[in-house]
Amino acid sequence: MPSKSPVIRLLSDLVSIPSINPSLGPSNSNLTGEEGVATLLADQAGKLGIEIQRQAVLPGRKNILLRLKPKGKIKSRIMLAPHMDVVPAEENAFKPKIKNGKLYGRGACDTKGSMAAFFQAFCDLAKNGPLPLSTEVIFVGLVDEEFGQAGSRKLAKSGPQADLAIAGEPTELKVVTAHKGNSWLQLQTTGVAAHGATPENGKNAIEAMTPILKTLFHDYPKILGKRTHPLLGSPTLNIGKISGGNQPNIVADQCTIDLDRRTIPGENEDSIKKELMALFRQQKLPIPHFSSTRSVPCLPLDTDPNLPFVQTLLRASKKRKTHGVSYFTDASPIAMGGTPAVVFGPGNIAQAHARDEFIDILQLEKAYKIIGVFLKNMP
């Protein structure tokens, strides 16, 4: 029965271990943290004699690195890198259920399905061989992807580096070599407070923001639409939050808007600020104060699809071309550290973070087989 296959049993075990990112809540500590997942991985790896390392990232939170050495001298290195944390859910969401060919539960799709497929194939290689002649295979369980990607950023900074890292995410088994980055900017206009009965004595910051909003909604998207990437299309802008003033009978002395600007290769936060300021000056608009609401860079991913190990993964998945996605992943911080990275895994991103999150079991099994074939083709 498919429900009894090793990779499905492993995914059920992983889903049943709550690992909500502590930075996202809830207050129930029994549901937060990745250590329970890391312990399960370490226990199974230890039984196979796999080298286990831990990498401190945040207080009480560590990446886990499981290293499988080749038969001979190490000439290349591959990393399988899913994240261990999940977004918040009620306690009953960590009771996996199988129904109509789907496994339900928080993290089943994002991204414990990828973790189960990667880890099971990794363990099969360790147990049954044959080991690669000269390629070290490292399984890395990362912390904190769902908040600040502290785990992948620590890995990028401290190593090890590899010839290719595969970040596990639900791509429907497509090999993703490009994804958008994102920059969160806050724009603020200021005014002069006055009594609401005598608004002529003040200067309304909301009024100052109004033409800026019009430009951002109507003119700026046309500019962005002229800029394209072959796998990612055009960059985008979303104005997700606005606030201003204190109460109706006071002229607003401040107004802020929060922007989510999705970037394509060649763009960064500085270039976005310069572009917007030039646009506002061109239209003779008030220049707002700019600030970033992200403490770390979230650059777009753009990995060369012709890299040998990327081509090996494409052949293993029986695909001819790579793809791009709009969402951000651990692949970007890893690539920023010098390791080329791609994104791959079972599941549909539409199910990620959903109330009734699920993964298609057949796709899970296919991902496990694809990674198995990929590892067996390592030099």
Q: Check whether 3 has a pLDDT greater than 50.
A: no
Q: Give span(s): CATH 3.40.630.10, the chain.
A: 2-179+300-376
User: Alpha carbon 310 to chain centroid distance?
Assistant: 19
Classify domain 2-179+300-376 at the CATH superfamily level.
Zn peptidases (3.40.630.10)
Q: Check whether 2 has a pLDDT greater than 50.
A: no
Residue 182's Cβ-count burial label (10 Å; 0-12, 13-18, 19+) is buried
Q: Can you give the pTM of this predicted structure?
A: 0.93
- Cα dihedral 365/371/375/376 (nearest 10): 40
Instruction: Give pLDDT, residue 295.
Output: 82
Give 284-290's long-range contacts (Cβ < 8 A, gap of 24+): 285/211, 285/212, 285/215, 286/189, 286/208, 286/211, 286/212, 288/187, 288/188, 288/189, 288/208, 288/209, 288/212, 289/187, 289/188, 289/189, 289/190, 290/185, 290/186, 290/187
Instruction: Give pLDDT, residue 27.
Output: 66
Q: Check whether 41 has a pLDDT greater than 70.
A: yes
CATH number of 183-292: 1.10.3720.10, 3.40.50.10800, 2.140.10.10, 3.30.70.360? 3.30.70.360
The predicted-structure confidence for 138-193, as pLDDT tens digits, reads as follows 999 999 999 999 999 999 999 999 999 999 999 999 999 999 999 999 999 999 99
The predicted-structure confidence for 210-244, as pLDDT tens digits, reads as follows 999 999 999 999 999 999 999 999 999 999 999 99
Instruction: Give pLDDT, residue 5.
Output: 95
Q: Check whether 299 has a pLDDT greater than 50.
A: yes
The predicted-structure confidence for 48-88, as pLDDT tens digits, reads as follows 999 999 999 999 999 999 999 999 999 999 999 999 999 99
Distance CA 364, CA 113 (A): 6
Q: Check whether 293 has a pLDDT greater than 90.
A: no
Residue 260's Cβ-count burial label (10 Å; 0-12, 13-18, 19+) is middle
- Label residue 162 left, alpha or beta by phi (over 0 means left) and psi (-120 to 50 means alpha): beta
Q: Give span(s): CATH 3.30.70.360, the chain.
A: 183-292
Is 379 in contact with 135 (CB distance < 8 Å)?
Answer: yes
Mean pLDDT of 286-313: 95
Give percent of the chain with pLDDT exceeding 70: 99
